Amino acid sequence: MKVLAITNQKGGVGKTTTAVNLAAGLATKGASVLLIDLDPQGNATTGCGITKKEALPTVYQLLLGISGYKEVCIKTDFGFDVLPANRELAGAEVELIDIERREYRLRDALASGHADYDFILIDCPPALNMLTVNGLVAADAVLIPMQCEYYALEGLSDLVETLRKVRAHINSKLEIEGLLRTMYNPQSTLTQQVSSELENHFGDKVYKTIVPRNVRLAEAPSYGKPVIAFDKNSRGAQAYVSLAEEILARCSINKDKTA
């Protein structure tokens, strides 16, 4: 079982898109997957066809100990489970301050559910706050989606420093699982340069799979579906299936029902 926090302090890099579509991709390969929406915007929740008004109880109640993991968990039509979120989750930031073991609330709450899944994916908010810290403490490793642009490199160095601090003080096992290049435009010289820098600096940590800019990928959330369910032949869908295969290979898990 692998717990991956999908995180980047910079917004708009395809973090939630990656969380939802990787969950769907892994599920199509036969893996049992739990997706945790840890972002008060709740975009991963709606991207799986769950309305935020229906999603009660949510991760908010889970973190505060009001509801258990089984009560919060929702089965989707796409082969994976979701712990949903809505705006209420923003209040947890303040309420967790005075709670004992506040950094460990998510990890403790998930302890009973680990045996149920091959993968737990955590969609973290695009900020370093108590919610993100809970995600990083619960995780074995982080998956970092990023655009190949200049500012992304600056943000990446900040994120690596944050991960170093979390590893030093709270979660010693935390590591970078991989970097995923998203919204990739192969015609841009800058994109190619940044991509080369990533490969030179991080080596095998950079996934071979590259997610291109893709209209169908952008459209899918408005239909409440992962792109694999929306248009399985699109380049975006094919990219996330490829990423799922790459991650399964890295984790030495052969779950493909067709294998």
> For residue 256, what pLDDT is reported?
52
Digit-coded pLDDT (tens) for 161-191: 889 999 999 999 999 999 999 988 877 888 8
Q: Please tell me what DSSP assigns to residue 37.
A: E
User: CA distances (Å), 241 to each of 158, 159, 168, 188, 248, in order?
Assistant: 29, 26, 34, 25, 11
> For residue 100, what pLDDT is reported?
86
> For residue 245, what pLDDT is reported?
97
> For residue 128, what pLDDT is reported?
82
> For residue 192, what pLDDT is reported?
87
Query: Going from the N-terminus, what domains does the chain have, and what CATH number goes with each?
Result: 2-250 (3.40.50.300)
Q: State the Cα–Cα distance between residues 180 and 194, nearest whole angstrom.
A: 13
69 and 110 in contact (C-beta within 8 Å)? yes
Q: Can you list the residues of the chain whose pLDDT is less than 70?
A: 55, 113, 253-259
